[in-house]
Chain A
Amino acid sequence: MKPAFLELDPAAVRVPVRFAGETLMLPEGANLATALLAAGVTVLRHTPVSGAPRAPYCMMGACFDCLVEVEGVVRQACMMEVVEGLEIARPHEGDAHDTL
């Protein structure tokens, strides 16, 4: 299946980023949430309440549905840029309790 999103002019410079244990090559300096979507990632996190899957919704820093964990801190992927070597995890995956 083709990814749900298409890049009009794919960036030349791509850097490795780890997401949920997988290495992805993402455009350097791109919006992180957009880059993950364009790379075919469909689920960024599961909710602490019911475990429901979530992905970017508003893309402008208001809805907090694109939360990811970067170096132990839960942050909005849509408010970050792609930097080489980012280690990204789905927040609280495997945690015993909700720490947000």
Chain B
Amino acid sequence: MTRYDLAVIGAGPAGMATAATAAEAGLSVCVLDEQPRAGGQIYRDVERAAARRGDILGTDYTQGAPLVAGLRAGGITNLAGAVVWAIEEGFRISYTQGGAAAQIEAGRVLLATGALERPMPLPGWTLPGVMTAGAGQILLKQSGVLARRAVLVGSGPLLYLIAAQMVRAGTPPLALIETQTRADLIRAARHLGGALRGWRYLLKGLGLMAEIIRARVPRYTGAQAIKIEGEAQAEAVTFTCRGRAHRIDCDTVFLHHGVVPNTQAARSLNVAHAWDAAQQCFAPKLDEWGQCDVDGVLIAGDGGGIGGAKVAEIAGQLSALHVAGELGHIDRATRDRRAAPLLRARRQEMAARPFLDAAYPPAAQALAPEDATVICRCEEVTAGAIRGYARLGCLGPNQTKAFGRPGMGPCQGRYCGLTVTALLADANGQTQDETGYYRIRPPLKPVTLAELAAMDAGAPGQAEKAAE
């Protein structure tokens, strides 16, 4: 089995920046990412798509190309299409690539697993034709595929970005149905100082808004009682806005109300997490280098708390410097000298975040769904069922599994975990930290017996051990 100084899980901005900085310092690095080409979701397929669709996607996207090129540097082994399904003490990392399981060893592990769309359980959200806004972006980035008749629902800057990109591509959305209210904006005003320090983000937002307004895309804010209607697929979105009922016919609905850290891999290693009230999600507890409470495990990028692509890149560089220092490739003074401008840049990049978090809070309707709404897409468990378990004395998310299987389907709780915690916390009068989260165990992704049997075993008996 090949052993590396550092294994990086995820080839988005955080992972790519970590690998480049660590390799430059002389570490042997292995990058594993489940997608066929590096970039993560933010820079998905950027090397192929930048030339063809750069004008539609904008420079915030095309600037990812040099990071991807950086993975071809010496000292970096880049395993693309490698689906990591177990990370064990030591560290031994098991993954599937090209239909066969394999393993590597590493002295340190950096998790750069990025973000997931915040679950947005609304009536009808499981219908075909309903996708995340991030999915809409992926269709456009990777494949140049656009929805002809789409409605965007939720809140947050990503909705404006995708709307503006759709306008540029000649297929503007039929409507923007936004859940944030004027009161949210007023509450956000106290963070205006920070927002002005992060003025570049605000300017970008205003630019996107201008494109959307010029294209005359109808906007509704403060939308409530949102429902997606349809039998075999989404046919319309209904909602109320300022007391009036609306109905917009469509084929596609893109949902978004923020992104949250993808904590599956970190939780499988028993990394301590805490509730972040400002971002309304769990995030791992990290020091300024991205080191968590498990020795040798570091976390960089949105998986450690939402900051966006630039912050992720900076965090990756900081983590790499820290590991290079620990392994004696650079001395402490060099590490601190190189880290100082990065720490300053990160503060600058994060300055607008409190304003954005307050101005575009998650949709209240989706944080506390009505009883009939399905909240676990895999096992089709409703919000009412979870509240029922609480009435029967169920205190924590893991116990709900015994009551009705939420979180036990193939997505392993990725799209219901935060909702189940929120529903139980509310029903039991507890905090999110007291309520906790699902216990996550390997395999993190499904692995077949055929893939295990085809394991590239460096020593006899490894396949059997991995299967245990």
Contact = CB atoms under 8 A, between A and B. Distances in A.
B273 interface: no
A42 B128 contact: yes
Given A2-B148, A59-B131, 8 more contacts: A3-B148, A5-B145, A8-B53, A31-B143, A34-B138, A37-B145, A53-B128, A62-B116
A20 interface: no
5 A-B pairs closest in CB distance: A55-B128, A8-B144, A59-B135, A64-B410, A4-B251
Contacts of B450: 73
Interface string B115-145: 0110000000011111110110011001111
B368 interface: no
Interface string B374-385: 000111100000
A7 B148 contact: no
A64 B262 contact: no
A6 B414 contact: no
B415 A62 contact: yes
B252 interface: yes
11 contacts: A5-B146, A5-B252, A6-B147, A31-B143, A53-B127, A56-B131, A58-B415, A59-B131, A59-B132, A61-B83, A64-B378
A53 B252 CA distance: 15
Contact of A81 (B34, B36, B448): B36
A60 B128 contact: no
Contacts of B147: 4-6
Contacts, number: 117
B41 interface: yes
A42 to B, nearest CB: 5
Contacts of B169: 8
A17 to B, nearest CB: 15
Nearest to B251: A4
A87 to B, nearest CB: 16
Contact of A63 (B143, B171, B411): B411
A5 B377 contact: no
Interface string B435-468: 0000000000100101000000000000000000
